[in-house]
A and B are shown apart, each in its own frame.
Chain A
Amino acid sequence: NAGVMQNPRHLVRRRGQEARLRCSPMKGHSHVYWYRQLPEEGLKFMVYLQKENIIDESGMPKERFSAEFPKEGPSILRIQQVVRGDSAAYFCASSPGRTDLYGYTFGSGTRLTVV
Chain B
Amino acid sequence: AQTVTQSQPEMSVQEAETVTLSCTYDTSESDYYLFWYKQPPSRQMILVIRQEAYKQQNATENRFSVNFQKAAKSFSLKISDSQLGDAAMYFCAYRSEQGAQKLVFGQGTRLTINP
A77 within 8 A of B: no
B100 touches A48 (CB 8 A): yes
Interface flag for B105 (CB, 8 Å): yes
Question: How far in angstroms is the closest Cβ of chain A from B105?
Answer: 3
B32 within 8 A of A: no
* Beta-carbon contacts under 8 Å, A28-62 to B: 33, 35, 40-45, 48, 55-56, 58-59
Whether, in the assembled complex, A7 has its beta carbon less than 8 Å from a beta carbon of chain B, the answer is: no
CB pair B100–A103 under 8 Å, yes or no, is no
Interface size on B, residues (CB 8 A): 23
Pick the residue among A42, A48, A98, A108 that contacts B44 (CB under 8 A): A108
CA distance A82 to B32 in the complex (A): 36
Contacts of A35 in B (CB 8 A): 103
Pairwise interchain contact A56-B99, C-beta atoms closer than 8 A: yes
Count of A interface residues, CB-CB < 8 Å: 25
Compute the total of residue contacts between A and B using a CB distance below 8 Å. Answer: 57
Are A103 and B99 in contact (CB-based, < 8 A)?
Answer: no
Quick check: B47 and A42 within 8 Å, CB to CB?
no
Q: Please pick, from A59, A91, A101, A102, the residue contacting B45 in the complex, using a CB distance under 8 A.
A: A91
Instruction: Give the residue among B33, B52, B91, B103 with the most A Cβ atoms within 10 A.
Output: B103
Q: Which of the residues A56, A91, A93, A103 comes within 8 Å of B33, measured between beta carbons?
A: A103
On chain B, the residues within 8 Å of A44 by CB distance are: 105
* B103 shortest CB reach to chain A, Å: 7
Whether the pair B45, A33 counts as a contact (CB closer than 8 A) is no
* A33-B102 in contact given A42-B108, A103-B50 (Cβ < 8 Å): yes
Whether B91 contacts A43 by the Cβ 8 Å rule is yes
How far does the alpha carbon of A43 sit from the alpha carbon of B107 in the complex, in Å? 8
Q: Annotate B19-55 by CB proximity to A: 1 below 8 A, 0 otherwise.
A: 0000000000000010100000011110100101000
**Distance A68 CA – B105 CA, assembled complex (angstroms):** 24
Whether A25 sits at the interface, judged by CB under 8 Å, is: no
- Assess whether A22 is interfacial by the CB under 8 Å rule: no
- A95-115 CB mask vs B (1 if < 8 Å, else 0) is 000100111101011010000
A-B complex: 5 closest residue pairs judged by Cβ atoms:
A42-B105, A56-B100, A106-B45, A45-B102, A48-B100
